[in-house]
Structure 1
């Protein structure tokens, strides 16, 4: 079934993926949970600010969506392979629903609200990694897996664009605690969809293979198992490191808009440019290109992805910045080919942990990129910080691509997609 789906996906873009019944349930659950998280973030921020009158506490409520993420990703990653995927996903959703329901209770102190938000963030990487790994069981590890992952990313990007607007609209007619009720309901519906719509499968690392045994000993052993192999390490870093530099123009859009005299309306449009370009690039690559073409585009698109930001050297106006950010987003189409290379390189018994760590690293390195961009902008003009990010980021990508080529040599014949045959 998975092989047939992969062949159909190669011919028909995203539509054949939706013909897989289990994927439809997973996709719907993902949509509900992502929207729930977005609504919870904006509602909790407003709720904490109204309760304390403190901008710091309000910002902390939002930051707690990120801070425990890395810790949860490292400590909980073994569960992604040691426990059945359906059980892990359902348990995470139920825990988040319980946390959201507790936020709704009248009189819940601010400290408890923040702790509940941290608990939701703590289990998020386990949920996401397990779900991404389970796509390989549902769709196979061929092209259908790549397209399924792409759809999940596009939902997350779209939810950020739509969800914050929806959350703001909800708060004009609902109290923050009432809005959070919708978050709890969303997680409950997601748990129900996953429990009833997906098959029960055994834990991926149940077999006593040496790799699985090594991965179960400790979180650090699992990290070594994922990052210890040279080619897999290079692929992982190709996911992790470019966002450090891609995030720079987004993190500095507000001060840049102020520097060129752009208004708040222009700032809002510019903030949408990169995610819109990312969605458009993935749609194009997933719909118009086959697996071989996407594989061939990985290196050129990854290498050129940051080059449009060099236009910041002349302190351009809004139209040029919009075009540059859209181009950077479009280059994100290379991720589909990179996804295929990654899943081909990961041993099946480590897939859940690898996907969990991959998502954890992506989140953590984006945070690092924001912090570094802000720090650099304290000493260097904003437009030069963005140019520096483009130059350094391009050099880093080229080095990683060279390392990947070197690691791939001698691993055996390559198949028609450019991957090493297994």
Structure 2
């Protein structure tokens, strides 16, 4: 295998912060492709949900069409994780976009039955963790594994948050002008545009590894990632806060009904946390140094769920929105944690590690939503969200302690290696 060119493209010396990331031409292509691809996924989710309900009249099947966006992540993220390391990154990224485009095209056909629509939705969800994991690993080759990578990841996360807000709104407006199948045909165009940007906007880089069965290679990588105490602790800290923090969003409609406010407030309750997340990441990325971002990781991870404790106090809707903004802004802890994670993962394992990270994150958020909904069948939403704040904080504190312990162990090992 030829030697990989992992040197990031040069950055003009007068650019700093997020400007330095956008100064890299390849990143601009990845950024635009990410926005288009994600917009296609979000709009297709809305269109498919409306289409299935229109064809069947079944709320269960309509909800299942949306839930299938989460469920196959764990299968794709474990059985196909090796794709990210076994094949050239650009080929994987373009191939995933083309698979999604093909699925969208088949969904848009008038003759496609409901069972096939749900199966195609599963295919899109199964390739998503491979696409996202490959893109994350490729960022280290485009931007290096230092501060530019952290800021690049931050920008892509903010696009993800914004795409959910814009995509749901855009999808709703779009469906007033075109049919659900027409909207799916439009998403075909977004996937194709993303594929073209990645094909002609990024350089070809060889695969990181090769040989052997893909499934065995993928599962071996998953075992290696989860078997390393330091990597496992970092992964769990990346997963745990999102698992708990989704509860207020999942229960926004039920909470609005509980406190007797109109449907318009549901949108505000669902938007407040993503807005806080974007604001927190923008501030941390633009105003804080890499050292400062590392210092805030553990405090924010440990205490980021504490604002949810105001729910059982029934303080008024304004205070609830403020609490959601604060809980969202604590997501800035991921900037420093991303750097620790990349430093802990060996280069030959990065593609699989990033894919496992993406698959686990999406899966655990789906589990968090389901558990919150189940709990709300027995207790009030205020009680459930407040309890989530307590339980989540306890779990995050334990994980923070584990991350600190494994960090000290890694430092001791590095010093021993240098002496040797």
TM-score of the two chains, using structure 2 as the length reference = 0.93
| Equivalent residue pairs, number | 409
Secondary structure of the corresponding residue to residue 204 of structure 1: coil
Pairing partner for 1:51 from 48, 55, 72: 55
* Equivalence for 1:112: 116
* Equivalence for 1:42: 46
Q: 1:3: Cα distance to partner?
A: 8.4
1:301 aligns with 2:300: yes
Correspondence 1:70-109 to 2 at 5 A = 70-109=74-113
Q: 1:280: Cα distance to partner?
A: 0.6
CA distance in 1, matches of 2:199, 2:131: 14
Contact 1:303–1:398, Cα closer than 8 Å, also in 2: yes
* Equivalence for 2:246: 247
* Equivalence for 1:314: 313
* Equivalence for 1:16: 20
Contact 1:215–1:350, Cα closer than 8 Å, also in 2: no
Q: 1:380: Cα distance to partner?
A: 2.3
Q: 1:413: Cα distance to partner?
A: 6.5
* Equivalence for 1:142: 146
Secondary structure of the corresponding residue to residue 2 of structure 1: coil
Q: 1:223: Cα distance to partner?
A: 1.4
CA distance in 1, matches of 2:73, 2:93: 16
Correspondence 1:188-203 to 2 at 5 A = 188-203=192-207
CA distance in 2, matches of 1:177, 1:377: 34
Unaligned segments of structure 1, at least 5 residues: none
CA deviation vs aligned residue, 1:85-130 (integer Å, no higher than 9, x gap)? 0111111111111111111222111111111111111111100100
* Equivalence for 2:133: 129
CA distance in 2, matches of 1:101, 1:232: 39
Secondary structure of the corresponding residue to residue 223 of structure 1: helix
CA distance in 2, matches of 1:58, 1:169: 19
Q: 1:8: Cα distance to partner?
A: 6.0
* Equivalence for 2:3: none
Contact 2:80–2:215, Cα closer than 8 Å, also in 1: no
1:184 aligns with 2:183: no
Which one is further off, 83-92 or 406-415?
406-415
Would the alpha carbon gap of residues 279 and 3 (structure 1) be closer, same or farther in structure 2, given more than 3 Å must change? same
Secondary structure of the corresponding residue to residue 172 of structure 1: coil
Pairing partner for 1:155 from 156, 159, 163: 159
CA distance in 1, matches of 2:77, 2:410: 30
Contact 1:86–1:198, Cα closer than 8 Å, also in 2: yes
1:174 aligns with 2:178: yes
Q: 1:409: Cα distance to partner?
A: 1.8
CA distance in 2, matches of 1:31, 1:3: 22
* Equivalence for 1:205: 209
Unaligned segments of structure 2, at least 5 residues: 1-6
State the Cα RMSD in Å.
Answer: 2.1
Contact 1:77–1:353, Cα closer than 8 Å, also in 2: yes
* Equivalence for 1:365: 364
Secondary structure of the corresponding residue to residue 378 of structure 2: coil
* Equivalence for 1:399: 398
Q: 1:381: Cα distance to partner?
A: 2.2
Q: 1:52: Cα distance to partner?
A: 1.7
* Equivalence for 2:8: 2
CA deviation vs aligned residue, 1:365-388 (integer Å, no higher than 9, x gap)? 111111211222222222121111
Secondary structure of the corresponding residue to residue 67 of structure 1: coil
Secondary structure of the corresponding residue to residue 411 of structure 2: coil
Which one is further off, 194-203 or 253-262?
253-262
Secondary structure of the corresponding residue to residue 173 of structure 1: coil
TM-score of the two chains, using structure 1 as the length reference = 0.93
Question: Would you identify which runs of 4 or more consecutive aligned residues in structure 1 move more than 6 Å?
Answer: 213-216
CA deviation vs aligned residue, 1:333-355 (integer Å, no higher than 9, x gap)? 11100101101101000101000
Would the alpha carbon gap of residues 42 and 3 (structure 1) be closer, same or farther in structure 2, given more than 3 Å must change? closer
